[in-house]
């Protein structure tokens, strides 16, 4: 289901008579892979790390082949996500306001200052797209730590990176939308792990998390379930201190970029994102009702025993509440973004982390694993 949401649209767009067959075969392949995964995990077997190295090399090869093509824009209009970061950072370097510029497609840039800061070292060496390799490698490590079995991690990475056309396209065109999710997930995991250690470990984890959350406004929804999880695992004093540090880091990165009128300029930037809701009837007041609904759903976390997979489940559900209405209405009424289901990748990846974690726990109780 999650793979279909983000992969069916590009397959439907670029394939002609074989698009239905491709989607059907993909769905059947996923079912067969899940059955094989179940058998492997029930035997408590661990696959070798060489499979992950091979997958990383395949993704690297795909980037080497497709990235130069994406720069020529010969297949379609191309993606302007890398260009958005480039013009933002170039404006900052020249002491200009970064959000008054336009990409080569004429779109206003949307990455927030956290994304700009994390991309800055790669901008300095002239290749912003290279950041994708760093965060991809670290995301591989994250999945190996997140799942109990390497086979589950390999299936997740293969399915949603190599075999998901929308995700592969963003990665190989130098886009940062997928990369944003990579480093937010990594930062959440580091912060979660630090809760069981000393406060001196939690402080840098909280600061790093604050920077990553300021990459896109959608990730503000992480804060509520994360607060519930943190309050269940540590003291109120430590929870308050850590969340203060997260907010301070996010504000320290974000507000100076919007100076000298940070709040006014920040609201204007958010107004650009609200234009994506233009096909939803105004009677529903989507600019207010959708965020409020997402916040209310995320507050369920305070009534649940929280863990890391459940946090990703709630992130998936709440981001879906925000993103799905605009994606569906654009599919119905807009020619330009009719196939923009890739925007749901934040939701599908988050949900799939929870779903596969749940699946491996149901299929195989904890047990000492053997190597194969």
Task: From first to last of the 372 residues of the chain, give the pLDDT tens digit.
Answer: 666 666 655 655 556 566 566 667 777 877 888 888 888 888 887 889 999 999 999 999 999 998 888 877 655 556 788 889 999 999 999 889 998 888 888 888 889 999 999 999 999 998 899 999 999 999 999 999 999 999 999 999 999 998 888 888 888 888 889 999 999 999 999 999 999 899 999 999 999 999 999 999 999 999 999 999 999 999 999 999 999 999 999 999 999 998 877 888 877 777 766 767 777 888 888 888 999 999 999 999 999 999 999 999 999 999 999 988 888 887 777 766 666 778 889 999 999 999 999 998 887 665 544 433
User: What local confidence, expressed as pLDDT, does residue 210 receive?
Assistant: 97
Find the radius of gyration of the CA atoms of the chain. Answer: 21
pLDDT tens for 229-286 read 999 999 999 999 999 999 999 999 999 998 877 888 877 777 766 767 777 888 888 8
**Beta carbons of 83 and 104 less than 8 angstroms apart:** yes
> Please, what sign has the CA dihedral across residues 261, 101, 187, 315?
positive
User: What local confidence, expressed as pLDDT, does residue 167 receive?
Assistant: 86
**Beta carbons of 312 and 350 less than 8 angstroms apart:** yes
Q: How far apart are the C-alpha atoms of 352 and 334, rounded to whole Å?
A: 28
User: What local confidence, expressed as pLDDT, does residue 77 receive?
Assistant: 58
Mean pLDDT across the chain, nearest whole number?
A: 86
> Facing residues of 142 across strands?
none
| Direct distance between the N- and C-terminal alpha carbons of the chain, in angstroms, rounded to an integer | 30
**Beta carbons of 144 and 52 less than 8 angstroms apart:** yes
The three-state DSSP-derived secondary structure of 144-207 is HHHCCCHHHHHHHHHHHHHCCHHHHHHHHCCCCHHHHHHHHHHHHHHHHHHCCCCHHHHHHHHH
Listed by start position, the domains of the chain span: 2-371
Cα angle 92, 93, 97 (rounded to 5 degrees) comes to: 25
User: What local confidence, expressed as pLDDT, does residue 4 receive?
Assistant: 67
Characterize the bridge pairing of strands 370-371 and 45-46: parallel
User: What local confidence, expressed as pLDDT, does residue 108 receive?
Assistant: 85
Strands (E), the chain: 45-46, 370-371
User: What local confidence, expressed as pLDDT, does residue 278 receive?
Assistant: 76
Q: How far is CA 11 from CA 14, 41, 57, 216, 269, in A?
A: 6, 31, 24, 27, 32
């Amino acid at each position: 289901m999650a793979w279909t949401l983000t992969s069916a649209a590009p397959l439907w767009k670029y394939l002609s008579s074989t698009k239905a067959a491709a989607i059907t075969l993909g769905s059947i392949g996923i079912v067969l892979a899940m059955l094989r995964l179940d058998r492997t995990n029930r035997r408590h077997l661990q696959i070798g790390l060489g499979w992950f190295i091979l997958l990383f090399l395949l993704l690297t090869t795909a980037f080497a082949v497709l990235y130069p093509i994406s720069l020529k824009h010969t297949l379609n209009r191309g993606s302007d996500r890398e260009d958005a970061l480039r013009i933002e950072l170039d404006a900052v370097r020249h002491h200009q306001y970064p959000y008054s510029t336009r990409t080569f497609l004429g779109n206003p840039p949307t990455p927030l200052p956290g994304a700009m800061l994390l991309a800055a070292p790669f901008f300095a060496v002239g290749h912003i797209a290279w950041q994708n390799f760093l965060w991809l490698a670290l995301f591989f490590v994250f999945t190996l730590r997140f799942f109990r079995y390497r086979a589950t991690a390999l299936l997740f990475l293969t399915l949603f990176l190599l075999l998901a056309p929308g995700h592969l396209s963003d990665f190989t065109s130098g886009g940062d939308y997928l990369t944003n999710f990579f480093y937010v997930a990594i930062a959440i995991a580091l912060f979660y792990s630090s809760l069981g250690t000393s406060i001196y470990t939690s402080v840098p984890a909280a600061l790093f998390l604050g920077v990553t959350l300021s990459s896109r406004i959608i990730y503000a929804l992480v804060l509520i379930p994360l607060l519930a999880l943190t309050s269940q695992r540590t003291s109120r004093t430590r929870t308050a201190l850590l969340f203060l540090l997260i907010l301070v880091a996010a504000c320290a990165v974000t507000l100076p970029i919007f100076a000298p009128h940070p709040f006014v300029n920040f609201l204007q930037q958010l107004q650009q994102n609200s234009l994506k809701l233009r096909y939803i009837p105004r009677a529903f007041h989507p600019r207010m009702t959708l965020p409020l609904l997402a916040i209310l759903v995320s507050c369920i976390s305070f009534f649940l025993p929280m863990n890391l997979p459940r946090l990703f489940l709630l992130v998936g559900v709440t981001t879906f509440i925000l993103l799905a209405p605009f994606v569906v209405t654009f599919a119905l009424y807009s020619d330009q973004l009719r196939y923009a289901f890739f925007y749901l990748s934040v939701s599908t990846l988050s949900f799939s982390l929870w779903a596969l974690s749940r699946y491996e726990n149901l299929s195989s109780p904890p047990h000492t694993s053997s190597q194969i």
